[in-house]
Amino acid sequence: MVDITVMGAGAFGLSVAWACAQRGAKVRVIDPGGVGAGASGGIVGALAPHTPENWNDKKAFQFESLIMAEEFWAEIETVGGVSSGYGRTGRVQPVMNERGLDLARAREVSAAELWQGRATLQVVPGEALSAWAPVSPTGWWIKDTLSARMHPRRACAALAAALRARGGEIVATGAPEGKVVWATGWQGLVELSGEMGRMVGNGVKGQAALLRLDRRGLPQLFADAVHVVPHSDGTVAIGSTSEREFEAPDRTDAQLEDVLARAITAVPDLAGAEVIERWAGVRPRAKSRAPMLGVHPLRKGDYIANGGFKIGFGMAPKVGQVMADMVLEGRNAIPEGFRPEASL
């Protein structure tokens, strides 16, 4: 007897399944592609916060999830015995001009208040940094201690191992039983749009690369709209593009080469590092740009958890929690901006 069926074994699906299993539910995950087959099987893994300004329920939700992450991934690794590659190593960004410096200092003040002393954002000079930093025209950088990194592919494997250790199943096919949560990624959003006769979500392709360069333990960098993420296995991930129109969802092209060139210009330390993998995938983006969580708009009695887009893994701990609240206990703690109505 299965209590909960989760359709989709990506970041959201596995996190919802894990949260339900932790509360004693018998859980089955169904995904014909297997664990992390879609965008959740990528390589970048930058868990970075929204800017601490114009604060709202959505930003607060993400903040809480990022704070939860350390304990969340530690428990998963303990239960399943598989490393997620998680580390709260922070992030460094260059301040590009005087206007940016004024804005950064204002955000420093906001972070001190809104991040509740649980993380910091500071504007620092070069002597406060290691040599691992992006080029800054002003000689100033933004350094925060809230950003973290994990390896998406390994994180999915860690979630799957922990779920199985708690008695959960992950299978390729099968009929849904019990309460059903649809976490089917960008294809699910496209299908839902077709069923509703209007666009409620789509897919945005991203391309990324993995370099053989050991900078483990150092902060992730963000410059010229490029993420540079040192992983715990001695690689560095570079990403990514955002393509609303694309022909081949899993093929890399010249756009990735442009991202790599921009990354090397911003972070000269990357020059000469061997590219060991090029990756492309499509991330689910709901119309509202926020995750779509709650009661499924068409399938009576079912639920939806989709639209993680670029922040799926960062949101995953809290998403699992609030979806388990709703599915198992009937409590709705989902911010209004995250509910399906926001994209409908």
**What is the spatial distance between Cα 201 and Cα 207, in angstroms, rounded to a whole number?**
20
- The per-residue pLDDT for range 145-204, each reduced to its tens digit, is 999 999 999 999 999 999 999 999 999 999 999 999 999 999 999 999 999 999 999 999
User: What pLDDT score was predicted for residue 130?
Assistant: 87
Return the number of other C-beta atoms located less than 10 Å from residue 195's C-beta: 12
Burial-class residue 269 by CB neighbours within 10 Å (0-12, 13-18, 19+): middle
pLDDT of residue 35: 98
Q: How does pLDDT run across 20-30, given as a tens digit for each residue?
A: 999 999 999 99
SS3 content of the chain, % helix, strand, coil (to 5): 40, 25, 40
pLDDT given at position 104:
97
* pLDDT for 182: 98
* Tokens, residue 57: 């329920």
SS3 55: coil
d(CA 201, CA 283): 11
For residues 121, 67, 334 and 41, what is the CA-based torsion angle, rounded to 10 degrees? Answer: 100
Count Cβ neighbours within 10 Å for each residue of 121-138 and write b for 16 or more, e otherwise. Answer: bbbbeeeeeeeebbebee
Q: Name the stretches of the chain with pLDDT < 70.
A: none
pLDDT of amino acid 47: 96
Query: Do 268 and 260 form a contact (C-beta atoms < 8 A)?
Result: no
Q: What is the pLDDT of residue 287?
A: 93
pTM over 0.75: yes
